[in-house]
Amino acid sequence: MKLKMIAVCAALALSNSAMGAEEALDEVVVTAPQSSAPLTVQTDPRKPRQPVPAHDGADYLKTIPGFSVIRKGGTDGDPVLRGMAGSRLNILLDGEQIFGGCGGRMDPPTAYVFPGSYDRITVLKGPQTVLYGAGNSAGTVLFERSIDRDAQIGTHGQASLMLGSFGRNDEMLSATTGSEKYYVRADATRTHANDYKDGSGVAVHSSYTRWSGNAALGWTPDDDTRTEVTLAKSDGEAAYADRSVDGSKFARDNFGAKFEKRNLGGTLEAVEAQAYYNYVDHVMDSYTLRSGNPASMMAAMNPDRKTTGGRVAGTLQLADDSQLKLGLDTQNNVHTNRTGAAPGYTGDYTLKARTKDAEFKNFGVFGEWHQDVSDTRRVIAGLRADSWQATDYRSMIMRSMMSSVMNPTANQTRKETLSSGFLRYEQDTSATHTWYVGAGRTSRAPDYWELFNKESLTTASSFNTRSEKTTQLDVGMNYRAGDLSGSLSAFYSKITDFNLIQSNVMKGMTAVTVTRNVDATTYGAEAGVAYVLMENWKLDGSLAYVHGSNDTDGTALGQMPPLEVRVGLNYDDKVWSFGALLRAVAAQDRVAVNQGNIAGQDIAASSGFGVFSLNGGWHADKAFKVSAGVDNLFNKTYAEHISRAGTMVTGYTQTTRVNEMGRNLWLKGDFAF
């Protein structure tokens, strides 16, 4: 049945609808943004969308086919692309890398992303680029801001306000002022939500409050030169329904600097350089956002992570039809931790010194070549080599709050050279069709959560887990003509030494979570389709499917999201707009209980579900628009297959998984000035 659905939707994807750029700018995103180039999807994070996402990076990515989110509460979920999570998916914020501190993945990189303060989100699927760091076996996500020199003259900005059920309110303000020579940009966001209720009226421990501020000062002496310095600060708190503690602090401090020079006039056509500093200070505790814990149980953990890095790249125009981008990047991050009692109690964690447990270093060199074979054919290829190093500073390993053991890998350092590369062929078979085929291979070193937060099958340390090697084939087609547009992408991947996370492994009388190497196979597809039925009316849809196998154990690969289909019907006459969305998700019975990734492991098989939502909008003029909607119109009670398991929280009902939100009404206003 699943394969039949894939075949039907793949066929539909080849007959799809194109809307102009001006029209797309005003749409509420209900199914998915269209693929803009082979294996590339771009979307505007400031557009209203349905269902309304939490104000973090992961929930925005969930609107793109192939993405899922491992739900933990109301926000800060872990993004999953084609069944792959964690460091298999590179996340860059304006070219900067950021890593969370929590050993339990309370704060993945997207927890520090406030999408409303960015101009676009770009997704590059698969190991089909080498420009943005090592290990991007699933893909790369770029959260980017842009400055147009012509547009920076004068003062202008954008503001938005959204109100929703369960106390949801989001505020965003972005403003730029400048001249031909300089600009100043500032962005501020805030969001808050109370605990939501699922479709059965059961409250979920899920409230959150988050805020961010960003500032940039730029100097543009001419059209081809830009120097910019940036500052960012953010914080927040979030309740979690899947564990015994909540996140009471998500502080981030950032400083960055960039330089770009284009149109140099010789073989060296452009240069760019960047340096950055990111510091995250995270607190998880059992008392700030929940009640009922006695003073003796009021414990806190306070990890932090400091990441510094930089990048230099040059673009060489070897000929009119040949371009080569060469560069190097470097990144260093240090993780420390401290634990103790709540402030004011004996053992106050804030009075304790931090203990360094891990340090990572990476230095990479890369080259990516673009060759036009003819007006309709091109080849893109890339190679990358990374010198990677990790050091284990732990003397003891905590198995629980009450017990610890000696670390067998204390003070050991690992060094590896990692290689990556890809080759892709693209051809325009007509003015409306582009098809492509690409092969890529990447080596990914284990990350902090795989090396330092788990055990191995034989020892208390997983520090010697082998690096992961992925070889993947990507094929697809983009189509756009008149009232029809669409895209289809498919992949087949073989993974050697896949870093599998397995929980509830018994060592004597103790249940532990381990990292182990297995071989795996994954394959799947995403499709998008749109068709203009008549003037102002559009029908669109999307599909995503992934299949994973643990070849070593002869079982399913854990944490594979089920088949998902979205169908939307929209009306837009540039003054009034209306839309309807049906999201249908199949049951998932291919499971590997207690196996998965650093963000979660399979719980059990899950049932399918369907959710129906409506939206409408009024465009008073180009500067002001109002949109509104109701998500989960029929108040369906459901949970995503890859959601985390619900835990017992005082005052709340424990559920098998963290259930999604019930009926949600929302209203959003956008104003440009």
The DSSP string of 502-558 is EEEEEETTEEEEEEEEEEEEEEEEEEEEEEEEETTEEEEEEEEEEEEEETTTTEEPS
356, 374 contact by CB (below 8 A): no
Q: What is the mean pLDDT of residues 231-247?
A: 96
Measured CA to CA, the distance from residue 80 to residue 105 in angstroms comes to 13
Q: Distance of alpha carbon 650 from its chain centroid, rounded? A: 31
Q: Whose CA is closest to 642, among 30, 70, 12, 116?
A: 70
Q: Which residues contact 545 (CB under 8 A, 6 or more apart)?
A: 2, 6, 524, 525, 526, 563, 564
Terminal Cα distance for the chain, rounded: 51
- Structural domain total, the chain: 1
Paired tokens of 322: 């040949």
**Which amino acid makes up residue 26?**
D
* Res 46: pLDDT: 85
368, 437 contact by CB (below 8 A): no
Tokens 């708190």 identify what position?
A: 237
Q: Whose CA is closest to 158, among 48, 259, 239?
A: 48
Measured CA to CA, the distance from residue 122 to residue 136 in angstroms comes to 14
* Res 34: pLDDT: 63
Between 403 and 319, the more confident residue is 319
Strand partners, 439: 423, 473
Measured CA to CA, the distance from residue 254 to residue 112 in angstroms comes to 11
Share of the chain above pLDDT 90, in %: 84
Question: DSSP characters for 300-318?
Answer: EE--EEEEEEEEEEEEEEE
Residue 3 has pLDDT above 50, yes or no: no
Measured CA to CA, the distance from residue 9 to residue 29 in angstroms comes to 19
43, 64 contact by CB (below 8 A): yes
> Which of 19-28, 258-267, 508-517, 597-606 is least confident?
19-28
Residue 6 has pLDDT above 70, yes or no: no
Task: Count Cα neighbours of 203 within 13 Å in the Cβ-side half-sphere.
Answer: 12
pTM of the model: 0.93
* Res 432: pLDDT: 86
Q: Kind and range of the H or E element at 208?
A: strand 208-219
Measured CA to CA, the distance from residue 42 to residue 123 in angstroms comes to 6
Measured CA to CA, the distance from residue 623 to residue 625 in angstroms comes to 7
Residue 32 has pLDDT above 90, yes or no: no
Q: What is the mean pLDDT of residues 20-24?
A: 34
Measured CA to CA, the distance from residue 152 to residue 60 in angstroms comes to 27
Pairing of strands 120-125, 40-43: antiparallel
Share of the chain above pLDDT 70, in %: 95
Residue 624 has pLDDT above 90, yes or no: yes
Q: Whose CA is closest to 321, among 374, 264, 243?
A: 374
The domain containing residue 476 runs over which residues? Answer: 2-672
Measured CA to CA, the distance from residue 139 to residue 128 in angstroms comes to 8
* Res 217: pLDDT: 97
Q: Kind and range of the H or E element at 329?
A: strand 322-337
Kindly report, residue by residue over 352-388, the tens digit of the pLDDT: 999 999 999 999 999 999 999 999 999 999 999 999 9
The 3 state secondary structure assigned to 541-555 is EEEEEEEEEECCCCE
**Buried-state track 158-171, b at ≥16 Cβ within 10 A, e below 16:** bebebebbbebebb
Residue 16 has pLDDT above 50, yes or no: no
CATH number at residue 573: 2.40.170.20
> Which of 291-295, 425-429, 437-441, 587-591 is least confident?
291-295
DSSP conformation class of 3: H
83, 546 contact by CB (below 8 A): yes
Residue 673 has pLDDT above 50, yes or no: yes
Helix ranges restricted to H, 413-473: 448-451
Residue 33 has pLDDT above 70, yes or no: no
Q: What is the mean pLDDT of residues 185-189?
A: 96
Q: What is the mean pLDDT of residues 571-596?
A: 96
Three-class SS of residue 658? Answer: coil
Kindly report, residue by residue over 274-329, the tens digit of the pLDDT: 999 999 999 999 999 988 776 667 789 999 999 999 999 999 999 999 999 999 99
Kindly report, residue by residue over 81-106, the tens digit of the pLDDT: 999 999 999 999 999 999 999 999 99
Helix ranges restricted to H, 303-456: 448-451
Helix ranges restricted to H, 183-246: none
Task: Count Cα neighbours of 552 within 13 Å in the Cβ-side half-sphere.
Answer: 14
Three-class SS of residue 571? Answer: strand
* Res 7: pLDDT: 36
* Res 147: pLDDT: 81
Question: Mean pLDDT of all residues in the chain?
Answer: 92
Measured CA to CA, the distance from residue 477 to residue 304 in angstroms comes to 44
Q: Whose CA is closest to 336, among 310, 306, 316?
A: 306
Phi, psi of 3, deg, nearest 5: -65, -35
**CA torsion, ordered 413, 442, 125, 311, to nearest 10 deg:** 60
Strand partners, 628: 616, 667
Pairing of strands 595-597, 600-601: antiparallel
* Res 125: pLDDT: 96
Phi, psi of 12, deg, nearest 5: -65, -35
Paired tokens of 381: 């290829």
Q: What is the mean pLDDT of residues 654-673?
A: 96
**Confidence bin at 26 (pLDDT 50/70/90):** low
Q: Distances from the Cα of 603 to the Cαs of 128, 187, 243, 457, 636, in angstroms?
A: 32, 40, 15, 21, 21
**Confidence bin at 24 (pLDDT 50/70/90):** very low
* Res 31: pLDDT: 66
Measured CA to CA, the distance from residue 463 to residue 408 in angstroms comes to 9
Paired tokens of 539: 């029908």
Residue 4 has pLDDT above 60, yes or no: no
